């Protein structure tokens, strides 16, 4: 059995919360452990092993569930992934979660700090992103792009590749704001998109998982303004691509406020 849906990212946008909720649906199969993520279509060495290897490694525990999938947050980012997926799984359904790219960058930075890889202050890490990417290009870390805090938030240029390969009807785009503001509504929409009953979704609290930003973590206003300018054009183009007004993502009114993932439970609204 091969997947009929993929959660393609983006990283630090709520994919763990979504994954763990969908995994509890009786008619949805996801590999028992989200980590490590497969990254099969992203990592060149993994992809070279072939689709049979992928099937045997991740889907042998399938027991007849209607919706079968996996989640790899690298997929939306990878320049060759959309083409590889289309060649192997042309009828696949795709779920993409997107978050304010400024907040996503900050969350990604702190996640990398926690991993022990990142040692620079946030402002310096942003300033030296391209320099560090070039330095890592020929190393094992180069493909993983651990310091691509800004580049991974340029969603329009990433999603364009997917819309070039797939019918828009195969793609469901969810924003982090929507997931936080109406988690049950989003989960129901995802279930319907996958062709399974929303009534079989789990009840109870929906906890925000895999948080990384420390409580009270502060982004200097001048750093935020730089990021607003870095993302401005891409956010406008993304809004046109997916038919949504996302200009609040690059509003200057939030400059200087603490950015954290402090809420332990998502709203039930």
Distance, in Å, from the CA atom of 232 to the CA atom of 215, rounded to the nearest integer, reads 27
Q: What is the model's pLDDT at position 259?
A: 47
- Examine residue 268 and state whether it is found in any structural domain, yes or no: no
Contacts 24+ apart (CB under 8 A), 86-91: 86/165, 86/166, 88/2, 88/41, 88/51, 89/2, 89/3, 89/4, 89/6, 91/4, 91/170
**What would the two tokens of residue 180 be?**
């936080």
Distance, in Å, from the CA atom of 7 to the CA atom of 5, rounded to the nearest integer, reads 7
- Examine residue 260 and state whether it is found in any structural domain, yes or no: no
- Examine residue 109 and state whether it is found in any structural domain, yes or no: yes
Distance, in Å, from the CA atom of 224 to the CA atom of 201, rounded to the nearest integer, reads 38
Phi/psi for 13 (5° steps) reads -125, 15
Give the strand order in the sheet containing 5-9.
28-29, 67-71, 5-9, 93-98, 171-175
> Which CATH number is 116's domain given?
3.40.50.300
As a dihedral over the C-alpha atoms of residue 206, residue 28, residue 159, residue 79, rounded to 10 degrees, the angle is 120
Range of the domain at 112: 5-254
- pLDDT of 227-266, one tens digit each? 999 999 999 999 999 999 999 999 865 544 444 443 333 3
- Examine residue 224 and state whether it is found in any structural domain, yes or no: yes
**What would the two tokens of residue 178 be?**
């929507």
Neighbouring C-beta atoms of residue 251, cutoff 10 Å: 11
Cβ–Cβ under 8 Å, residues 196 and 67: yes
Sorting pLDDT into bands at 50, 70 and 90, what band is 205? confident
- pLDDT of 73-85, one tens digit each? 999 999 999 999 9
Residues in the chain: 269
Q: What is the model's pLDDT at position 35?
A: 66
Q: What is the model's pLDDT at position 141?
A: 87
As a dihedral over the C-alpha atoms of residue 8, residue 14, residue 16, residue 20, rounded to 10 degrees, the angle is -100
Cis geometry, peptide bond prior to residue 264 (ω within 30 degrees of 0): no
Q: What is the model's pLDDT at position 252?
A: 63
Which carries the bigger pLDDT value, residue 29 or residue 211?
29
Distance, in Å, from the CA atom of 226 to the CA atom of 126, rounded to the nearest integer, reads 9
- pLDDT of 249-259, one tens digit each? 998 655 444 44
Percent above pLDDT 70 for the chain: 92
- pLDDT of 19-59, one tens digit each? 999 999 999 999 987 668 999 999 999 999 999 999 999 99
Helix (H, G, I), strand (E, B) or coil at 186: helix
Total number of domains constituting the chain? 1
- Examine residue 262 and state whether it is found in any structural domain, yes or no: no
Which carries the bigger pLDDT value, residue 259 or residue 178?
178
- Examine residue 38 and state whether it is found in any structural domain, yes or no: yes
Q: What is the model's pLDDT at position 34?
A: 66
Question: Which of 45, 249, 36, 264 shows the shortest CA–CA distance to 154?
Answer: 249
Cβ–Cβ under 8 Å, residues 8 and 22: no
Neighbouring-strand partners of residue 94 = 6, 171
Largest CA distance in the chain: 53
- Examine residue 261 and state whether it is found in any structural domain, yes or no: no
Percent above pLDDT 90 for the chain: 82
- Examine residue 103 and state whether it is found in any structural domain, yes or no: yes
């Amino acid at each position: 059995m091969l997947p009929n849906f993929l959660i393609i990212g983006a990283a630090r946008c709520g994919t763990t919360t979504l994954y763990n909720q969908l995994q509890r649906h009786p008619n949805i199969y996801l590999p028992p452990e989200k980590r490590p993520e497969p990254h099969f279509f992203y990592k060149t060495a993994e992809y070279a092993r072939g689709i049979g290897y992928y099937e045997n490694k991740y889907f042998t525990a399938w027991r007849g569930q209607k919706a079968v999938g996996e989640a790899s947050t690298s997929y939306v980012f990878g320049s060759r992934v959309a083409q590889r997926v289309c060649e192997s799984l042309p009828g696949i359904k795709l779920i993409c979660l997107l978050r304010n790219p400024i907040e996503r960058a900050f969350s990604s930075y702190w996640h990398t700090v926690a991993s022990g890889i990142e040692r620079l202050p946030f402002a310096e890490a942003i300033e030296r992103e391209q320099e560090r990417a070039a330095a890592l290009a020929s190393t094992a870390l180069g493909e993983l792009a651990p310091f691509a805090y800004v580049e991974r938030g340029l969603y329009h240029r990433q999603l364009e590749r997917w819309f070039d390969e797939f019918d828009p009807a195969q793609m469901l785009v969810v924003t982090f704001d929507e997931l936080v503001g109406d988690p049950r509504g989003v989960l129901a929409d995802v279930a319907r998109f996958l062709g399974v009953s929303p009534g079989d979704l789990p009840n109870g609290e929906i906890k925000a998982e895999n948080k990384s930003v420390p409580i009270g973590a502060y982004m200097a206003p001048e750093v935020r303004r730089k990021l607003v300018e870095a993302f401005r054009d891409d956010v406008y183009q993304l809004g046109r691509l997916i038919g949504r007004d996302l200009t609040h993502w690059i509003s200057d009114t939030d400059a200087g406020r603490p950015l954290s993932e402090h809420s332990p439970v998502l709203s039930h609204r």
